[in-house]
Structure formats: structure tokens, C-alpha cells
Amino acid sequence: MEDAYARSVSEVLDFFEVDSTKGLTDTQVSQHARLYGKNVLPEGERTPFWKLVFKQFDDLLVKILIAAAVVSFVLALINGETGLTAFLEPSVILLILAANAAVGVITETNAEKALEELRAYQADIATVLRNGCFSILPATELVPGDVVEVSVGSKIPADMRMIEMLSDQLRVDQAILTGESSSVEKDLESTIATNAVYQDKTNILFSGTVVVAGRARAVVIGVGANTAMGNIRDSMLQTDDEVTPLKKKLDEFGTFLAKVIAGICVLVWIVNIGHFRDPSHGGFLRGAIHYFKIAVALAVAAIPEGLPAVVTTCLALGTKRMARLNAIVRSLPSVETLGCTTVICSDKTGTLTTNMMSVSKICVVNYVQHGPAVAEFGVSGTTYAPEGFIFDSSGIQLEFPAQLPCLLHIAMCSALCNESLLQYNPDKGNYEKIGESTEVALRVLAEKVGLPGFDSMPYALNMLSKHERASYCNHYWENQFKKVSVLEFSRDRKMMSVLCSHKQMEIMFSKGAPESIISRCTNILCNSDGSTVPLTATLRTELESRFHSFAGKETLRCLALALKIMPNGQQILTIDDEKELTFIGLVGMLDPPREEVRNAMLSCMTAGIRVIVVTGDNKSTAESVCRKIGAFDHLVDFVGCSYTAAEFEELPAMQQTVALQRLALFTRVEPSHKRMLVEALQNQNEVVAMTGDGVNDAPALKKADIGIAMGSGTAVAKSASDMVLADDNFATIVAAVAEGRAIYNNTKQFIRYMISSNIGEVVCIFVAAVLGIPDTLAPVQLLWVNLVTDGLPATAIGFNKQDSDVMKAKPRKVGEAVVTGWLFFRYLVIGAYVGLATVAGFIWWFVYAETGPKLPYAELMNFDTCSTRETTYPCSIFEDRHPSTVSMTVLVVVEMFNALNNLSENQSLLVIPPWSNLWLVASIILTMLFHILILYVPPLSTLFSVTPLSWAEWTVILYLSCPVIIIDEILKFFSRNSYGIRFNFRFRRFDALPKKELRDK
């Protein structure tokens, strides 16, 4: 029944044909079960494991690598190769791909846990009226029309319409749906609100929420998927995971690289068609296969096999640094996404505020001799910890607050007229509440006031253990006054009273809504001397004025406190006793903003990140909190920047688009609105981070580019998120954004390093093929260079230090290519030099080396006809391992020098020296040790087709490698000066990564 909240009790009962005094009959239960289904959340269709595995290989570069591995293996078999040499290259490639696939499968499996966690919020049992009798049944057996009784502590088993109140009031904690900490009072009246949200449906009990006060009966109107919890599940199922900006750019880069690789491979094969018939190949077909193998080697050289592993490693390093900042990353790619976040949609309660009600203002009557004088006191402390001080109106701290009569009696009333508990949790290291937030705030106030008669108060309290300190003063008052009778809070009276006995004297303490308490008061307690005087009309007006100021301008939640001396021996309280009260004081409380939030929000503005506060709270309260945070001081008013969900939905489409660009506060929201907001912002090409803690937030967290759950939040929210804030603090998000930007900068640096290195390998093979000289590098040697010598320095580049101005730059555009324009030109130049130096080392050994054959260059170019001609040298010289060892070593050493170039994009090595990143220095040393190991240890040198080198050969290698630093220093100089800017403009027209629309909607 969709609109049960707008129908009367009788209409709802008639709809389900149920008698509220007898419940459903067994026949009706069977009919309704067939008609409406079972009261369980249906299991979503899980992605089969094999599909998850295959999904990880759905990438163009990965497919090319798999093809290269298969072709390499087949060609090895055709050539008669057996053993380790035939399997080495394809095996290593497949191992890398398997490792990357494993990481992807684990990440996607975690995402599906959110739906499983949702089941934990379903009730297990329910007290149901059937056939005129109450019985306790499994909640799964409920059907629409069932009459259910709920009481304090009950978990609501299905969506239900209230039909009968069995106590003065019923309050429900529905924070998992609305995110708001305060419990909601329920009633029987139908709702007439249009576009009603959960907060407006005060006659509906929602599945999974918990009763915190009272007792009532309700009729089931929705079960299973047709509940508020079911709607959240459906929304999560409809949400596809967003691909991160870095993943998109790497995918585009892969597509671009694949086209280039295909083109060059075909070109190399076509260029050498004339050599297919060379006698050295043994026939046209074998010649074609030989040059096809070279093309495959070229593909292996062009693809940075280690790129996925290095990206994963760099992101993992970032997650460790974030964990130290209290940001626990659940999804590695989200680390980088933070760096380009343009909008943060932040929950108000618990993120911008402490989610702990706290008394901040006290109002009492000081004296009345010379006209009414109302005194105000401020209270410090923003958590449930009994730590804080009381200040007078001039800001001076009160040394002994309990010596003032009104403050003393406020402490008494707060401790006694109270049904909550405050305790210390040693496991979490914080103070926790049991009961209503407002009542716990009063208990904390009693602790801050302290006890009378001790000069050492309140400092003596600091000597207590935290467990004792939690309620020491409250326990003192509870021991001094014995509770005799309690008159519970009711909606019509809007107050609560408790009768206490103290030294043969009976006193009634009352607390409640200020308008209810003040109207029942005839006297006031004076704070100056403790005297009781009549409450005059003038003084009553003054108190009401202060109350309206607290509640209106300062949006504080106000309670008034009063007492009354009762006749000796009275044991029972009645409503008639709640009159002729003595007014004690007025307290104003709020969910206070976190102290560090203001600076964090200002950092966001500096960094070009917009913050939108999203809350289920009402508009005026939320606007007041935003003012207190201080982050919206730049706004003259909230007109055009603050909307309720209903107001926003009523706007025409064009106005919604304009409103989104100015939106700063979004109130009275429910789950569907949060998800709608995320989608609307993403349609405007914004990168959205969404925070949340309740079950209601899960769909939006899943939909956002990066979902951020609170550490104190629900398991569902955490499972649907990419990141969890251990301290629930907005400031932690800002620190994480800075870390995300630094990680992206480092990621960009090592991607450029690997690209320039791979360009060098491609140039090496391509030039050798065009010149017609022997193969400079064997495929297994290329694989070694790509994995070990490229991988270690590239990973170490991830340790480059964060720039000091990382949060002063605007967010990078999500369409920004990893390598574009002038930078691509720079790395083409570097790559070309790397390739040419490698070929030069190969030719040098044949033509000029003292230990080489000193062949004429023409002979080297005609090596393939050696067996058919008379030569002064043996043809076996072309099988010598020295030349390929020299070229491979040149490639390794030149890439080590190139790694130093990537300490900074534009800064010279004279400004940022190598020792600024000791990890990089260590990785270069380790890489060279590995390389020397394979050169000089026989089994390894045989495996990689290399041989030991002489000192003379090492000298030439260093001469060929060093110039790469000089070349890049010149290019960096141009980048830092106007020439670089001019070149940047010139080359910006053709991006290395083709631009395309980021979001395919």
C-alpha cells in the first residue's frame, strides 16, 4: 500500500480487510502470502565467479599481451624450442595478468557484500495478532494486514502503519534511514504533506528501525522488497560502479597504444618482405615467421607489462599513508580519484558535527530587586565526555559553578529527571550514551557543574578513572535523592516529572518544552541569593523572549527545568501536581560543529573543491549549523544556495541545472534524493565524493565517484563505500584529497617514465629492422628490461614527496590526458635517444670494439647472406652474445639515468637532487645489482642469452647512456620558459591520448 501514510487508520484496516482486535485469519494469511510474497529481501543475482575472472581480462592491452604470449609460445614450438626457453616469456606475461586479475576479483567481491550486510537490519521475530490471539512468530512469516505490537527495544519487522497507541508516546530511532541522530516521535494522524519524505511520514514505522520509547500497535503495509529497506536494496542493484578517471585515461591510452603497436608491427613486417627469401631463413615461409616473431617482440616491447603492477603498488603505498590519516581505503583506484574530486557532498550529522548533543547555553534569573535581570552562561565541550567549563556572559570561567543556586539546582534536575545513561567504553576509548541524546546532554551538564561544598571542585574529579568519572556527579545526586514516582513524558503535556525524597522532604523536579514549563510556573529561583520570588508578567515575557532567541536565531534545542516542594509523605505523582512550579532555568543544546571543520572547508575552497552539505534535517536548523561552521561566510544569504529536496524537485529542468551550480545546502533528503544529486552532478562532469553512515546512504555511496563511509556508521554503508573515515571527521577527507593529488602526480611521473622507456625499446627494434642488422635484443631480454629494470625505479618514483602547494591548485580536469602535447614530444625525444643509443651499442661492438670482429658496416647489413658468400670472418660471429649484451646493458643504464629525470616534471636535478628520493636511488642500485647478477652468474646468463662484459665495454655503455640527462635538462629548461609554453600551445592540438567524452550516459 503506497499511500498508507495519507490514509486514516480505518481506511488502512479496510484495505487489508483486517479487524484490529482479532488480526488476520489463517485463510487471509495464506491469501496475502500468495498475493504479496514473503517478508525477506530477495537475494540479488550474483555475478558468477568465472564471469568476474573473465571481466578482468576485458582490456585491449591485456588481450594484446595474451595474444603475444600465445604467438610467442607457438613460434617457439615451430622453431623446435623446448624446455624453459619456450615457456619463459609467455609464462611470465600470464603470471602478471593473473596477479592483476586476482586484485580485481577481490575488489568486486567486496562490493557485493553491501547487499548481504543489508539483511542484518531485518528483525528476527515479531509479536503478531492472529485469530484473536497474540503469538511470537519469525518476522519472515509476516504478511501485509498483520497487526503487530511493538515496544521499547523492538526492531521493526516490516513497514507498518500505526493504528493504536498503548503508551503516552512512541519514539523510534530511524537514523539508518534518515541519518539524523534524534529519535522521531510517532502518532496516528494521517499526513497531508505533498511529496512526503520519510521524516514527514510520522505514522509509519519503517522496517529495520528501532523503538526507543513507548508501546504501540501497527498494521503491516509492506514486506520484503516493498519496504523502505527494500527500496534501498533495489537502488543499490541499479547502481553501476563508476570507472575512476585514471582507469579511463589508462584505457584510452591502451586503445591509442594498441593502434600504434599494430601499425608499427605491420610496418616492420612489410618493410622486411624482401628479406623473407634470404638463405639464412631457409625459405620464404620461415622468413615470414622470423619477421613475424620480430613484430611480436616489438609488441611486447611497446606494451608496458609492469604498468598495472606499478600502478597498483603506488596506490597501495598511498593507502598506507592515508591509513595514518585515519582514512581507510577499501578500493585502491579510489585513492587517485580523490585527487580530481571537484564536489564533496558531505553529511551534516556526525561529519561536520560531532553527532553528540551538548548543552551550550544556560539562561537563569539573576535577581529581581531592581527589575528583571536574566543571566546567560556559556558551556564548553562538544562531546559526551564530562570535560568542559561554564563561563559567565563576559566569557570568564566560573571556578565553582555549583556554588550558584540556579546552576546547582539545574545539575540536580538534570541528573534526577533523566532516564538515560552515560558510560565509558574502554575498547573505543570514548564516552557513549544509552538513551535519548538530549537527556545524555543533561547528564554531561551535571558533571560539568560539579558538586557543592568542595573547594577542590571540579579539579578533584580529574583524579577519578574515566569509568568512575562518566557519571560521578549524577550518581552523587541519585544517592542523595531517592526516586519515588515518575510521571512520563507525553505529547500533550510536553514535559516529564519525577518525585524525589531527600531527608524527609519531597521535591518534584520537572523538565520539558519551555512553553509548557513556563506556563505552569508561578515562582522563580534567583541565582544571586537562592531566594524564591513570584514570577511576574514582565519576567515571564523576558524568559519567553530568551527562549525564542535560543530556538530561533541560534537554533538551539531548548528545555526548561523547574521544581516544586511537595507535601511530606507523598508517594504518587499526578498531572494535577504539575502546576505552581518554581522556574530554575533554561538550557539550550545543539549537535555542535567539529572545531577543525572550518579550516578544512576553507582548504577545499582554496583547492577549488565545492562542498555541498546534505542532510535530512530541516532547512533552518541546517542553515544555522552551516553558519556556525563558518564555511559559508562568503554567502550573503542562502537564497539560491539552499534547497529542500521537495523545493529542488519542483524546479524546471533548466533551473535545476543552474541551481546545481550554486547549491551549498540540500535538506530534508531521503536515500533517492542523495543518489539523484550524485547523478545530476556527474551529468555536469563533476567528480563527486559522497559521505554517509546510514543504510540510507549506501546507494549514493555506491553511485558516487568515491563513497566515503563513517567509521561509526553501519556495515552496509562501509561495504558500499570506497573509503572509511576512522574518526568520522570532515578534515580527514581534505587531508585524503591532498594525498590523492600527490599520488596522481607520482603516478603520472612513473607512467611517463615507463612510456619513454618503452618508446626507446620500440625505436631500438624498429631501427634495427629497417637497417637490416641482426636482432639487437631477444624477446626474453626485453621482458627482463620491462619487468625488473623498469618496474623497480617506476615504483620508487611513487615515493616522490608531496608538493607544498598541492592544495592550492584547482582540481585537474577528468579529461586531462596522462601524456599530452609538449610532454609527449619530450618523451618521444627521450625515447628516440634511448632506442638509438641501444642500437649504437650493438653496432659499436661489431664495427669498433677491440674485442669485436671490426666488420665493415656493409657486412653487418648483409649478415643474412653470409652463408652464401665468401667472407673473411665466420658466420657464427652473428650468434655471439656480446653485441646483444652491450645493447641490453645500454638500455638498462640509460633507463636508470632517465629515472632520475623523473624526480620532477620540470625542475632540474640541480634543484631536486637524486637524494631527495632515497627510495629511487636504492632501486637504481638494486636494479643494477640484478643486472650484473644475470651477466656474471652462468645459469642466469645462459637463460637470458647474455655474457660478461669487460671494463672497456662498460665505459662505452656509460658514454652512450649519460647524454639522456643532458637532453632532458634542455627540454625541462624549455618547459620552464616561454619556449616551453609556446611549444605546449603548438602541440596541444594532438593529444597522445585521444580526447573523448568522459561519461557515456
What pLDDT is stored for residue 939 in this prediction? 83
Give the CA-trace dihedral at 621, 623, 624, 628, to 10 degrees. 140
What pLDDT is stored for residue 78 in this prediction? 63
What's the DSSP call for residue 550? I
Residue with cell 519542483: 650
For residues 60 and 258, what is the distance between their CA atoms, to the nearest angstrom?
7
Q: Which three cell numbers stand for residue 540?
A: 515571564
Instruction: Please check whether residue 369 is in contact with residue 397, taking contact to mean a CB–CB distance below 8 angstroms.
Output: no
Most confident residue range from 464-478, 716-730, 789-803: 464-478
Give the lowest-confidence range in 145-154, 355-364, 812-821: 812-821
Residue 943 sits at the vertex; the CA angle it makes with 938 and 946, to the nearest 5 degrees, is: 70
User: What are the Cα distances from residue 998, in Å, to 62, 534, 595, 743, 761?
Assistant: 22, 72, 38, 21, 31
Residue with cell 525524597: 501
What pLDDT is stored for residue 352 in this prediction? 81
For residues 199 and 181, what is the distance between their CA atoms, to the nearest angstrom?
12
Q: What is the arithmetic mean of pLDDT over 550-574?
A: 89
For residues 745 and 747, what is the distance between their CA atoms, to the nearest angstrom?
5
Q: For the segment 40-64, what is each residue's pLDDT rounded down to a tens digit?
A: 876 655 666 667 677 666 666 667 6
Give backbone dihedrals phi and psi of 444, rounded to 5 degrees, phi first: -65, -40
Q: For the segment 621-642, what is each residue's pLDDT rounded down to a tens digit?
A: 788 888 877 667 777 777 888 8
Residue 113 sits at the vertex; the CA angle it makes with 111 and 116, to the nearest 5 degrees, is: 145
For residues 743 and 317, what is the distance between their CA atoms, to the nearest angstrom?
9
Give backbone dihedrals phi and psi of 120, rounded to 5 degrees, phi first: -65, -20
Average pLDDT of the chain to the nearest whole number: 80
Q: For the segment 610-625, what is each residue's pLDDT rounded down to a tens digit?
A: 989 988 877 877 888 8
Q: Which three cell numbers stand for residue 893?
A: 643504464
Instruction: Please check whether residue 740 is in contact with residue 724, taking contact to mean a CB–CB distance below 8 angstroms.
Output: no
Instruction: Name residues whose C-beta falls within 8 Å of residue 468's C-beta, 6 or more positions apart in sequence.
Output: none
What pLDDT is stored for residue 9 in this prediction? 92
For residues 759 and 745, what is the distance between their CA atoms, to the nearest angstrom?
21
Residue 950, number of CB atoms within 10 A of its CB = 12
Q: What is the arithmetic mean of pLDDT over 414-433?
A: 88
Give the pLDDT band of residue 988 (cuts 50, 70, 90): very low
- Label each residue of 581-595 as H, E or C: EEEEEEEEEECCECC
User: What are the Cα distances from residue 863, in Å, to 280, 846, 883?
Assistant: 9, 11, 14
Which residue, among 408, 427, 426, 404, has the nearest Cα to 416 in the 3D structure?
408
CB burial string 539-563: b at 16+ within 10 A, e below: bbebbeebbebbbeeebbbbbbbbb
Helix axes 60-78, 84-118, angle to 10 degrees: 150
Looking at the predicted structure, is the pLDDT value of residue 383 above 50? yes
Strands 343-347 and 688-692, by their bridges, are: parallel
What pLDDT is stored for residue 833 in this prediction? 93
Residue 490, number of CB atoms within 10 A of its CB = 15
Q: For the segment 750-809, what is each residue's pLDDT rounded down to a tens digit?
A: 777 877 887 888 888 788 877 878 878 876 787 678 766 666 787 788 777 766 667 777
Instruction: Name residues whose C-beta falls within 8 Å of residue 96's C-beta, 6 or more positions apart in sequence.
Output: 305, 306, 308, 309, 787
Which residue, among 976, 993, 808, 961, has the nearest Cα to 907 in the 3D structure?
976
Q: N- to C-terminal Cα distance for the chain?
A: 34
431 forms beta bridges with 424
What pLDDT is stored for residue 983 in this prediction? 42
Could you tell me the pTM of the whole model? 0.63
For residues 4 and 206, what is the distance between their CA atoms, to the nearest angstrom?
12
Residue 927 sits at the vertex; the CA angle it makes with 925 and 932, to the nearest 5 degrees, is: 95
Instruction: List residues with catalytic annotation.
Output: 347
Instruction: Please check whether residue 564 is in contact with residue 535, taking contact to mean a CB–CB distance below 8 angstroms.
Output: no
For residues 323 and 735, what is the distance between their CA atoms, to the nearest angstrom?
11
What's the DSSP call for residue 526? B
Q: Which three cell numbers stand for residue 681?
A: 552532478
Residue 227 sits at the vertex; the CA angle it makes with 224 and 229, to the nearest 5 degrees, is: 90
Q: What is the arithmetic mean of pLDDT over 915-940?
A: 89
Q: What is the arithmetic mean of pLDDT over 100-115?
A: 54
Looking at the predicted structure, is the pLDDT value of residue 694 above 90? no
Residue 915, number of CB atoms within 10 A of its CB = 9
Which residue, among 819, 661, 687, has the nearest Cα to 741 in the 3D structure?
687
For residues 413 and 411, what is the distance between their CA atoms, to the nearest angstrom?
6
The sheet carrying 133-138 orders its strands as 133-138, 125-130, 147-151, 215-222, 159-165, 204-205
Most confident residue range from 189-193, 284-288, 920-924: 920-924
H or E, element range at 231: helix 228-237
For residues 506 and 569, what is the distance between their CA atoms, to the nearest angstrom?
7
**Which segments within 169-277 are labelled E, that is strand?**
170-173, 184-186, 204-205, 210-213, 215-222
Phi-psi region of 359 (alpha: psi -120 to 50; beta: other; left: phi over 0): beta
For residues 591 and 317, what is the distance between their CA atoms, to the nearest angstrom?
36
Q: For the segment 118-173, what is each residue's pLDDT rounded down to a tens digit?
A: 455 556 788 999 999 999 998 889 999 999 999 877 888 999 999 999 887 888 88
Q: Which three cell numbers stand for residue 239?
A: 547502481
